[in-house]
Amino acid sequence: MKFSEKILPRLDEVRGGDGKWTAKCPAHDSQNASLSISEVSDAVPSDATITSKEHTPIAHGSQATKLVELCKGLEFFHSDDGEAYVTLKRSDHRETWSLRSKDFRDYLALKFYRRHRRTPGGLTIDEALRTLSGKARFDGAQRPIALRVAGRNDTIYLDLCNARWQAVEITATGWRVVDPPVRFVRRRGMVTLPQPTRDGSIDPLWSLLNITDPQARALISGWLIAALRPRGPYPVLVLQGEMGAAKSTVARMLRALVDPSIAPVRTVPRTESDLLIAARNSWVIALDNLSGLPLWLSDALCRLATGGGFSTRELYTNLDEVLIEVQRPCILNGIDDICTRDDLIDRAIIVNLEPIPETARRPETELWQAYDSIRPAILGALLDAVVTALRRLPDVCLDRLPRMADFAQWVTAAEPALGLNDGAFMAAYSASRRSAVEDALEGSAVANALRKMMDKQERWDGTATSLLAHLDSLFDPKLPRSKSWPKSARTLSSALSRLAPSLRSVGIAVTRHRSAATRRLTIERISKGSSFPSRASPVAPGAPNRRDAWMPIGERHDASRGLEPALELPRNSHGDAYDGNDAERT
């Protein structure tokens, strides 16, 4: 009788008698076997030491130790979040793997087999990985890792995910395919990008996407350029249209230009943890066929767009928490109005797709063959646009900065390479934002009632309770109320806080007055598009750049970064300062 390799490493004690040995395994207490000395010699590795129970067993040169020694020459390091990685040489290139990955486990098993002509047990690999992980975390250096897109100094790298682990190096003077100096990691499901070609154009893409509107083309081009930037903010691209508008196909084609995947579009994640896993494993998040958004998902997408911390349990068996700061480009598509909350609308690019006539439809096989044939040239054209953006960005200065200011400046810098006239993108972006705000206000019962009230007066003062009673009186009692209609002054106050930026854009300013004894509201008419009431005092003359008057506190540009300092806030007729961000009185 011989013990399997899974049992041998777990022997608890081995006792000797006259010519016989008894071995006990803690996992098999009931199985005591009598072995001859020769059988024990065959079953136990020749380099193992068997001692009596009175002595501590020592396994000299165990399988796990040999496995660790086989990894000499590999570079072990850790990322800023403490995860262990290894960089190894493979023929003519190098690769970076996570020590948790299945690829590295398979690599260890194969390496051990090639050296010793025997397979290591699962416990052996686990023990070796624990040692190697400690080596990476405590002896190894801390290095940044990247997924698909990376930045280093003034250079951008785009991982092609090909067999040679090559990337496109993009600078202000041009682009080329290189062996990247940054540590890219590959996640399961990532697909190779085509080898880009030069002197390409993005124009052939529009015939395949059935997009004829120049503003929609400018917005989609801007999103593609932003997705090739290693840092955000990234606007959420929302594709809306009726059935037959090819929304899913457009989403797949756009993603394949930047971050192709085996599963290009996904269903709605069930939890924020599922969304976090998707963001860690993909550069672009594409959600398909949405019918509205739950509140938690709307808030999570806002954090993905402009940056925010996510937390989740590492394992269900311990108390460790994973904290991740992540930004990702996102694509959403659906028939209904997907963005209904003002905070997501402020971060979104909404494109309405026209339905495709039956006479203009093409077989899907033919469509994708045509797409694959032009994809290398389109990718090359996008890379040319990134080169132009890098070169022109230091000289770009917009008169007014929207919420996604860095995005707007980046795409404006790339306009010549995208075939856009100066200012064409900002014109399209501003028009899209106005349309989205108007759609959101039309879908809000509170906003509609407030606009109806202010059509007949210039100013209203009072408490939230009296405002709710006044708005209730405007409704026809015979008509049913909306389910979203506030039932308390607190709910109305929260709704006004969210609607305040959109209401200002259509000429209604909501101001709060708070004291120890009272909470009052002032609602007054202002000029459309103005950030402040018309009676606000103007910005001090001689200010270096008036655009800061429309920027929220904390987001104003600092002179130390080569831009203008924040200006003094304008005030309304009551002397209340406006911060341009919400309706709160400062």
How many C-beta atoms lie closer than 10 Å to residue 143's C-beta? 15
- Give the end of a domain, one of 120, 143, 166: 143
Q: What is the pLDDT of residue 157?
A: 97
How many C-beta atoms lie closer than 10 Å to residue 322's C-beta? 16
Q: What is the pLDDT of residue 61?
A: 59
Q: Are 429 and 237 in contact (CB under 8 A)?
A: no
- Give the end of a domain, one of 24, 44, 59: 59
- Give the end of a domain, one of 95, 120, 143: 143
152 falls within a domain: no
156 falls within a domain: no
Question: Residue 20 pairs with which residues in a beta bridge?
Answer: 36
Give the residue from 351, 350, 352, 344 showing the smallest Cα distance to 501: 344
168 falls within a domain: no
The C-alpha atoms of residue 101 and residue 85 are separated, in whole angstroms, by 9
User: In this structure, are 366 and 422 located in the same domain?
Assistant: yes
| Dihedral, CA of residue 312, residue 315, residue 319 and residue 322, to nearest 10 | -30
Q: 3-state DSSP call for residue 184?
A: strand
User: In this structure, are 484 and 537 located in the same domain?
Assistant: yes
Residue 408 neighbours by CB under 8 Å, 6+ apart: 398, 401, 402, 425, 426, 429
Q: Are 330 and 285 in contact (CB under 8 A)?
A: yes
339 falls within a domain: yes
User: In this structure, are 517 and 429 located in the same domain?
Assistant: no
Q: What is the DSSP letter of 577?
A: B
In the chain, the amino acid numbered 109 is: A
Q: What is the pLDDT of residue 317?
A: 52
User: In this structure, are 434 and 466 located in the same domain?
Assistant: no
In the chain, the amino acid numbered 258 is: V
How many residues does the structure list for the chain? 586
Number of domains in the chain: 4
User: In this structure, are 383 and 457 located in the same domain?
Assistant: no
Count how many Cα atoms sit within 13 Å of the Cα of residue 163 in the half-sphere of its side chain: 2
Q: What is the pLDDT of residue 313?
A: 63
User: In this structure, are 298 and 403 located in the same domain?
Assistant: yes
Q: What is the DSSP letter of 261?
A: B
User: In this structure, are 55 and 101 located in the same domain?
Assistant: no
Residue 20 neighbours by CB under 8 Å, 6+ apart: 34, 35, 36
Beta strands in 304-448 (DSSP E): 308-313, 321-326, 330-334, 348-352
Q: 3-state DSSP call for residue 285?
A: strand
User: In this structure, are 420 and 484 located in the same domain?
Assistant: no
Q: Are 345 and 436 in contact (CB under 8 A)?
A: yes
Question: E strand or H helix at 201, and its extent?
Answer: none
Question: E strand or H helix at 152, and its extent?
Answer: strand 149-152
Q: Are 549 and 541 in contact (CB under 8 A)?
A: no
397 falls within a domain: yes
First and final C-alpha spacing in the chain: 84
The single residue listed with the structure tokens 């015939």 is 207
User: In this structure, are 427 and 465 located in the same domain?
Assistant: no
Give the domain extent around 548.
Answer: 453-561
Phi, psi dihedral angles at 321 (to 5 degrees): -125, 135
CATH at residue 420 = 3.40.50.300
The C-alpha atoms of residue 94 and residue 164 are separated, in whole angstroms, by 8
Per-residue pLDDT of the chain (586 residues; tens, 9 = 90+): 444 444 444 444 444 444 444 444 444 444 444 444 344 444 444 444 444 444 334 344 588 999 999 999 899 999 988 899 999 988 889 999 999 999 999 999 999 999 989 888 889 999 999 999 999 999 999 999 999 999 998 999 999 999 999 999 999 999 999 999 999 999 988 999 999 999 889 999 998 988 889 999 999 999 999 999 999 899 999 999 888 888 999 999 999 999 999 999 999 888 888 888 888 889 999 999 998 888 899 999 999 998 876 666 665 555 566 667 789 999 999 987 888 788 888 899 999 998 888 888 888 899 999 999 999 999 999 999 999 999 999 999 888 888 888 999 999 999 999 999 999 999 999 898 888 888 888 878 888 888 888 888 889 888 888 888 888 887 777 777 777 788 888 888 888 888 888 888 888 888 888 777 778 888 888 876 554 443 333 333 343 333 333 333 233 333 333 333 333 333 343 333 333 333 333 3
412 falls within a domain: yes
Strand pairing category for 308-313 and 321-326:
antiparallel
User: In this structure, are 309 and 433 located in the same domain?
Assistant: yes
The angle, 0 to 180 degrees and rounded to 10, between the axes of the packed helices 272-281 and 295-306 is 30
376 falls within a domain: yes
| Dihedral, CA of residue 216, residue 218, residue 219 and residue 225, to nearest 10 | 140
User: In this structure, are 296 and 219 located in the same domain?
Assistant: yes
Q: What is the pLDDT of residue 236?
A: 95
pTM across the whole model: 0.74
Phi, psi dihedral angles at 495 (to 5 degrees): -65, -40
Q: What sign does the dihedral 579-581-583-585 (CA atoms) show?
A: negative
Q: What is the pLDDT of residue 226?
A: 96
Q: Is 329 exposed, middle or buried (0-12, 13-18, 19+ CB in 10 A)?
A: buried
The C-alpha atoms of residue 180 and residue 159 are separated, in whole angstroms, by 8
Cα dist from 264 to 203, 250, 261, 300, 324, whole Å: 23, 11, 5, 20, 23
Q: Are 376 and 197 in contact (CB under 8 A)?
A: yes
User: In this structure, are 429 and 471 located in the same domain?
Assistant: no
Chain-centroid distance of CA 510 in Å reads 33
Give the residue from 225, 231, 232, 300 showing the smallest Cα distance to 258: 225
196 falls within a domain: no
The single residue listed with the structure tokens 């209203």 is 460
